[in-house]
Structure 1
């Protein structure tokens, strides 16, 4: 068997049609499989005009342009695209075509003489792709709905904690402060409800703010749980460290990390929030790294490797696996990063690196100096 016959047999067996276009006379030679794909009997004549006639009307200009590009003497001579046809029996099929042009010299000019190629019926694959796309659209809708529900639950949990503090606080000044914080959180719920088509919600944009004040506010929100669980909090954050980030969203990230830390220390432990200044050598900007560390139960390697995966949770019915995923997405959104390390029975440490910061040197809230 000749090499050409062997190649032809292999193509036919694989369901691939082959064709050969002689450019000057627009003569088309095609294999039986090629004719079958286009809906013509093997013995039927299948001319170049027949090929053009079955092209789907909206796709014909694309096919003709692709052929013209392949025959362009100044181009690469390659032809490749997916397109639709309307077969003589009325069926619409998706085809994938590939080809290569061959050139020769005529009167000192480079001219395309032949275009050979293959054609493959890709209808089933396209149908599967369309089904997967629709499935992913539904999945994205579900994730979006779950994300919105998660974002609403955070400020509502905060309001519950503030109500607990109000019941036990005798100072009118503190009570007024807690009421103001509760109003702020309820206002955030309203913002989320009116922006459900967006993944994240921060109408105020990105403005510099004091990281110490933000972290202090988050710690206050969890004061009830901190006291109940017997956790000791150590905050090493210098005053006057201004960071440029969406304040509401960064507060959500810190609140999520603090909440997870408390979950990991049901029988007490130590929670540390610390800020260190550092120079981002890639951008040349002075930035800050916020560390949230706990001495809790820690995570085994198999959990640690999936900790930022959406919908992955070790909390059973008590968790939805969205907190850390959302937190990482928020950090990416504002051009920052988040890293984690953990060891079983030793605790977990999260590092948030915030770019675009404008830190100022001062003493930390516990009296220690921030590290450079």
Structure 2
């Protein structure tokens, strides 16, 4: 390591300096040695590249040159590793010195070559541009994230085009100047998908590229797609809001029940008055029916919010009756005909609140798929699961609505995937799937967009009796 040139020992036994070395006398039995030091561009010796054999040898100048070339390659790779790690540290501060365009181009080529091997296999967005914002490198993950098919288009795209127009001012006026001052900076910002135009939230980290003289050559980024994470955070916030609204609705429903009971009693007393005219008596009966319906809705609101702590034995048609009553107005307004076909002796032992939530989602999606009206079919049957022989109930909710395209059908149970655009969170069927799995059942979707057979059917199978582990949290 202390040599400035190659160290060659053609025969260690004949060299007094080496004949007593433990690697010569020991198990390795080294008789020939040739080594070249690893020297960083700053002149620091950090190791050596060496070859040895158990027989004496002579080396040619060409072999020495090859060993030196190997040393330079090893040093370059070690420098790349050190440079990549050091670029992530906040304390790194870089000086800015102007240099000629020709020298800058040459230095950028060196940096590009060093980064390529590491970046090609990364799943993060890795890219580089010069000081004027002209992009000259992007790894395969960067092209995939942006929806760009080939590197030429990626390279020909000016840096500002990668960002949403609303975010470009922040990049130009605040973010890049900070990178120049401090050597690196990070921000969460939106990239623009080149095919769909959708926003891609990125954890955007940029650091300054420098030459041997510490002069700035350009910018490099190692960024991560955090769109799913931000969507999850937003969904959790929305879920918390819905939970708060649910508690508020439950509280209001509870308070409304008290005056409704009083009104019901008063209407009963009024109806007992023998002096009432027939028309007035008819009005009282109508009012009594409407109050009874309002009371039923508030009771269902309370049941939907309260989660049962123990499984309940119940017929599916009773669960559907409550769900359909909640959708009564929507079904009428959309002119949706409901066909109900409940098999005989179909019972379930389930966590009632959970399964009611699943059925509610199935009916809601079916109604949404028929904006111009249609037929909603609900069917239950006792069936055995063929793979295990367990007894259970198959529940099918089908519509003749718009249908789901084949390429999207396999994704509808994935978290945060929605066919409703901004109107859906993509969590309803995902949660439903987990609830069904918690009950040791399964759920399937079938759909067609063909004109003669358009529509969707969601089928779930639930065991008649719950397994002992069904009460465990489904997240586990």
Q: Give the structure-2-normalised TM-score.
A: 0.41
**Alignment equivalent of 1:343, drawn from 444, 448, 457:** 448
How far did residue 158 of structure 1 move? 11
Query: What do the CA deviations read for 1:192-244 (whole angstroms, capped 9, x no partner)?
Result: xxxxxxxxxx3423222221100111111111111111111110114652212
Contact 1:147 1:322 in 2 (8 A): no
Matched, 1:266 2:371: yes
Q: Give the match's secondary structure for 2:440.
A: coil
Structure showing greater relative contact order (alpha-carbon pairs closer than 8 Å, 6 or more residues apart): 1
1:251 corresponds to: 356
- Structure 1 residues without counterparts, runs of 5 or longer: 1-21, 26-30, 45-90, 92-124, 192-201, 359-372
Q: Give the match's secondary structure for 1:298.
A: coil
How far did residue 312 of structure 1 move? 2.2
How far did residue 248 of structure 1 move? 0.9
Equivalent pairs, count: 248
How far did residue 357 of structure 1 move? 4.3
Matched, 1:313 2:418: yes
How far did residue 43 of structure 1 move? 6.1
Instruction: Evaluate the alpha carbon distance shift between residue 208 and residue 302 of structure 1 in structure 2; reply closer, same or farther with a 3 A threshold.
Output: same
Contact 2:231 2:416 in 1 (8 A): no
**Alignment equivalent of 2:438, drawn from 333, 341, 344:** 333
How far did residue 356 of structure 1 move? 3.3
Q: Give the match's secondary structure for 2:411.
A: coil
Q: How many angstroms apart in 2 are the aligned matches of 1:342 and 1:216?
A: 25
Q: Give the match's secondary structure for 2:447.
A: strand
Q: Bigger shift: 149-158 or 270-279?
A: 149-158
Q: How many angstroms apart in 1 are the aligned matches of 2:248 and 2:346?
A: 28
Contact 1:288 1:357 in 2 (8 A): no
- Structure 2 residues without counterparts, runs of 5 or longer: 1-22, 27-34, 49-85, 87-121, 126-222, 261-284, 467-476
Contact 1:234 1:270 in 2 (8 A): yes
**Alignment equivalent of 1:181, drawn from 291, 297, 315:** 297
Q: How many angstroms apart in 2 are the aligned matches of 1:308 and 1:283?
A: 24
1:279 corresponds to: 384
Q: How many angstroms apart in 2 are the aligned matches of 1:210 and 1:271?
A: 20
Q: How many angstroms apart in 2 are the aligned matches of 1:184 and 1:343?
A: 34
How far did residue 350 of structure 1 move? 0.7
Q: Give the match's secondary structure for 2:407.
A: helix
Map residues 32-181 of structure 1 onto 2, 5 A cutoff.
42=46, 141-149=233-241, 170=286, 172-173=288-289, 175-181=291-297
2:327 corresponds to: 222
How far did residue 310 of structure 1 move? 2.2
Matched, 1:289 2:411: no
Contact 1:293 1:348 in 2 (8 A): yes
1:356 corresponds to: 464
Instruction: Evaluate the alpha carbon distance shift between residue 33 and residue 144 of structure 1 in structure 2; reply closer, same or farther with a 3 A threshold.
Output: farther
How far did residue 355 of structure 1 move? 1.5
Instruction: Evaluate the alpha carbon distance shift between residue 136 and residue 299 of structure 1 in structure 2; reply closer, same or farther with a 3 A threshold.
Output: closer
**Alignment equivalent of 1:206, drawn from 286, 311, 314:** 311
Instruction: Evaluate the alpha carbon distance shift between residue 250 and residue 225 of structure 1 in structure 2; reply closer, same or farther with a 3 A threshold.
Output: same
Q: How many angstroms apart in 2 are the aligned matches of 1:32 and 1:284?
A: 72
Query: What do the CA deviations read for 1:322-369 (whole angstroms, capped 9, x no partner)?
Result: 2222221221222111111111141111101112349xxxxxxxxxxx
How far did residue 303 of structure 1 move? 2.5
Instruction: Evaluate the alpha carbon distance shift between residue 141 and residue 263 of structure 1 in structure 2; reply closer, same or farther with a 3 A threshold.
Output: closer
Q: Give the structure-1-normalised TM-score.
A: 0.51
Q: How many angstroms apart in 1 are the aligned matches of 2:366 and 2:351?
A: 23
Q: Give the match's secondary structure for 1:291.
A: strand
Contact 2:378 2:398 in 1 (8 A): yes
How far did residue 250 of structure 1 move? 1.1
1:363 corresponds to: none
How far did residue 262 of structure 1 move? 1.2
Contact 2:310 2:351 in 1 (8 A): yes
Cα-Cα RMSD: 5.1
